[in-house]
Structure 1
């Protein structure tokens, strides 16, 4: 499998610069297209799943992360605090403390739960320079992050819902999930919460995973010691050709934050009850997912993700008019299309291949006369003459459906 850092030499997805700092990649125009599309997918899946959007600051007082437990657990992995007058502020290592404050901003009834708060937001880890690598290990992580606040009797269904959403995201992206890992605590004292809480949460996640995976050909693998410090989790694991395993999305139960932030709801009995908090990632981090996609597709991303969806190549100046008409028709539908006229046709075709354009459309004298194009769709293994209006129709359908191009022949 190719390395996304090597592919980046041709694709110009991201850049690094000593002045920006290690582990802080710069998203170039092509990479910004990919990231924007991933963000749109994350937002669509969140809305379809009943999530509501919020925006929270990347900074917080040190006291916020002391309250959440992150300071005691992850101080060495956090950026140093900054003094502002009498206060200390910190770049957040996670989004959940702010979302806990959003939930706490007003009172809640048992009748309105669950509440699912979604934000695609940056968080920061002070990774050591020796472990930084391209887009897979960075110091600023842009995460598709949802936190669910629910009653205890809803926790199992919400965990199953989160797992289904994550599996659907990977299906759309075409990233094959190797297995689902049930990440449990071990026998050490590194975990927050009581044994009864852990036993109940682990059993609940196990049942949720078995329910969801009953319709998928995916194993559930239990792993002691891989839980988050505040609760067990379900991790979607991918394995590359080198045998390297990565977590691509996760669903986590948290009984630490509700206790620390006193997160409650008014029950049917009129009393206050402790809420259950579930962390869930659907698409995952923009950086890690982009790296995985580049390697999975050898840089030739699916059409809906491709920075250049169609490149149009007139054979000679005589075909510039029909070629531009095709470009205008595609652009009118919002297709990302390029028109390349300079240099020889062979060199332009080679450049289009190097940049991994999803579709190459050549317009020669015959195609100009017939209002068509000689189309090459490498992913589908298709090469043939296609009417211009059919080309536009197929490309728009594939883009809107986030699916492969079909119906060429």
Structure 2
């Protein structure tokens, strides 16, 4: 497989692998997903939803547009409108494609009364949002105009903020391990000069102090950088780097005292009084588009098995083994694996093996394997395993996939 010095460009490789493409009639910054790319995207989305459920999040779904008034209340219109699409007139009202999910989640929280006993309330959504990016900065999947964002907002007491931010960092770390990637560095993003940020110095100091304490307590090296905060609050940015060393932000944790005040969010405290919650904004994998771009470049298309578009390919040596290979594919599909058949009509066995070089598991089936109901597995990294019973092979692959393992094979797994 690839050498560590190889530098991949996801814009080229993603098209070669049939993951995504663009069309002038759709427009710049609006890529579409081809079947294999959509499979990677959906696997990534299912993974993050499962991780969030296990961490105590509840999922919601909200519209991709709302009245301009919503973003006036949140502060997006006054601080961020240059990056938003212009309003659409409809029935005498003005609607805007959302640039962020947080105002919608604030309204969902506000729609019900809440007690301190419910907090922290963790609300998550994989939702669409839109940025009016200039055509000159658009490129591949990293800078797009239509974004599918892995977003979440935790509504909690001020005493709970540090624990929730720390837990969010741990969730990010676990996701990176499953994805086989590493952060380039951690950044504490603070406000800079000018009118870009909410004018409330005391609020900024409180929020920044919490995040700095969380980073210090987590033992993570970081640097504070001014001018990189959200307009409403500071954030921890988890930076990634491509093969050329160019950095971008993938994951964030933000503390927000501003929007709970703007939306007059409340909860009933143990004293029976009405108190203001804090919003912790948190994204584990950021936008699905940027995450896939980084994964394509980092892995060179050789994704972890659980993320691969095709996880197993069955390779009958000749037409005589075709029924057994077809049956193996069916067994794997029944287990929820993504399996395909590459029969002799597609060329010699060697040619088919080469064509499937990025598939994690290649199951070669010859006359001996048919007689014993076994498969000879070739792993993507070049290893060849002794023939295994077909059901055992598919069960062990399923266990690796279900466990989101980055290794291809566990030699110590029980038979």
TM-score w.r.t. length of structure 2: 0.93
2:354 to 350, 355, 362: 350
**Judging changes above 3 Å, is the alpha-carbon distance between structure 1 residues 262 and 64 closer, same or farther for their aligned structure 2 residues?**
same
Q: 1:279-298 counterparts in 2 under 5 A? A: 279-298=281-300
> What's 2:308 paired with?
306
> Which residue does the alignment assign to 1:163?
169
Deviation at 1:292, TM superposition (A): 0.8
Count residues in correspondence: 402
Cα distance, 1:193 vs. partner? 4.3
Instruction: Look up the match of 2:3.
Output: none
Q: Which 4+ stretches in 1 moved above 6 angstroms?
A: none
- The within-5 A match list for 1:104-143 is 104-143=110-149
The answer to whether structure 1 residue 406 and structure 2 residue 412 are counterparts is no
Distance 1:385 1:329 in 2: 20
Q: Deviations over 1:49-106 (max 9, x none)?
A: 1111111111100111111111112222111110011100010000000101011112
Deviations along 1:236-273, one digit per CA (max 9) or x if unpaired, are 11122211111110000112211211112222333322
What is the match of residue 41 of structure 1? 47
**CA–CA separation in structure 2 for the residues paired with 1:85 and 1:329:** 55
How has the CA–CA distance of structure 1 residues 133 and 18 changed in structure 2, closer, same or farther, with 3 Å as cutoff? same
**Alignment partner, residue 382 of structure 1:** 383
Q: 2: distance between equivalents of 1:186 and 1:10? A: 42
Match of 1:144 in 2: 150
Asked if structure 1 preserves the Cα contact closer than 8 Å seen for 2:113 and 2:267, the reply is yes
- Unaligned 5+ residue runs, structure 1? none
More displaced 10-residue stretch of structure 1: 66-75 or 297-306: 66-75
Retained in 2: the 8 A contact 1:108–1:266? yes
RMSD: 1.6
Q: Which runs of 5+ in 2 are unaligned?
A: 1-6
Partner of 2:84: 78
Point out the more displaced range, 144-153 or 358-367.
358-367
Q: Residue 217 of structure 2: which of 182, 202, 211 is its match?
A: 211
1:295-345 deviations in whole A, cap 9, x for unaligned?
111001111111110111111111112222222221221211111111222
For 2:385 and 2:164, locate their aligned partners in 1 and report how far apart those are by CA, in whole Å: 48
Separation in structure 1 between the aligned mates of residue 283 and residue 50 of structure 2, nearest angstrom: 14
CA contact (8 A) 1:38 1:283 kept: no
Q: Which residue does 2:94 correspond to in 1?
A: 88
- The secondary structure found in structure 2 opposite 1:287 is helix
Tell me whether 1:335 sits opposite 2:337 in the alignment: yes
